[in-house]
Amino acid sequence: MQEFKPVLCSKCFKNEGLKLDAKKIGKENNDKCPNCGLNDGAKLDQELTARLAHRFFVRGSFNKTNFGGAPVIQFNQRQETSIDVSNSLQKDIHLFENTIDVGFFYYGPRLWMVGEVEPLKSLQKPSERESIIQRILEEYPNHKFTKGSNFYRLRKNPNSPNEIEQYDSPPEDTEGNGRLDSNELKIMYGSQDLEICIHECRVTVEDEIFFATLAASRDLKLLNLTEVIHEDTTEFQSLDLAIHMLFLAEEHSYEITREIAISAHKAGYDGIIYPSYYSLLRTGSIPFDTIYGISIRKIPDLEEHAKSQIIPNIALFGRPIEEGNVNVECINKAILNQVNYDLQFGPAKY
């Protein structure tokens, strides 16, 4: 095992965010810091110092666009520092420059990272949308959700929490306002991940929470949009990245995702497995992760890693309980005992 050789500690930094992040990832010991001379800071070697720089300046400057997103700042050992940061960060920047021999600069991302993906652009144009949706139905796999398979559906502040009907899709006269439901197609939303249900329902401490454990009463045919599909294309022509970005986008994407649901229903599917909007929050993954500017979704050896970043949700068409496609196994009350936040930090000015 390589010897751990500290070069900095959490007490070396002036910026509070850097101090807190360094304390989180550094190693606690009572050795004297070779830089500041203090004993009680969390120690960083060169590898951890580079990791801290990436967490704070790269991930901490991530800018989400309508579809996709990219960091504003990058660093390497070939460029000098050229970013404009607050005075309080100047001394910390010099620490990184002197310790790991890097410069910080404004990053010009490859344009696919900010939504310049041809199938995604076509989905945004009503005149071109149908042909891309047909590709989705043809290129994404079916998933057989077998009889007896369980998932959860959560309700907050229900009028009658023990009534089975409360856990079905909303009644026919209820206007759809979710990612996939519409006046034309009702949706039962659920997940096999109970914590994702909590996020999706935007639960607060004041809410009373109840969840039903549901089971398929027959085999269900679902369109699986969480798969990484194999394509012989660049990121700019990737249908896989288009769907990935679409389901991590906010409400401006709903018109498109609702049409995908309607088309899947007409094609004979019972529902869709789709990426949760809260996947990255749940898994702690880097949004639209790349290696040397290449999406990790395009690297075969990283396929399983890319899939692990996504939490699947289940959307069943119609009113599955009323129609007999899903049974309610049991209903429980859920109590929020504790919420933990995993924080990291970034510069306020750049």
The whole-number mean pLDDT for each consecutive block of 10 residues of the chain, a chain of 350 residues, reads: 88 96 95 94 97 96 95 95 91 96 95 97 98 98 97 94 92 76 94 94 93 98 97 96 97 97 98 95 88 90 93 97 97 92 90
Whether the Cβ atoms of residue 262 and residue 182 lie closer than 8 Å to each other: yes
Here the tokens at position 257 are 């995702």
In 231-296, alpha helices (H): 239-247, 254-266, 279-283
The dihedral over CA atoms of 60, 63, 69, 75, expressed in degrees to the nearest 10, equals: -50
**Which pLDDT belongs to residue 175?**
64
Q: Give CA–CA dist 264/138, Å, rounded.
A: 10
**Residue where the block lists tokens 């050795």:** 31
Position 68 scores a pLDDT of 95
Yes or no: say if 23 and 13 are a contact pair by the CB < 8 Å rule.
no
Classify strands 312-317 and 290-291 as parallel, antiparallel or unpaired.
unpaired
Q: Are 242 and 123 in contact (CB under 8 A)?
A: yes
Predicted local confidence at residue 350, as pLDDT: 84
pLDDT of residue 26: 96
Q: What is the pLDDT of residue 1?
A: 61
pTM reported for the whole predicted model: 0.92
The answer to whether 326 touches 188, Cβ cutoff 8 Å, is yes
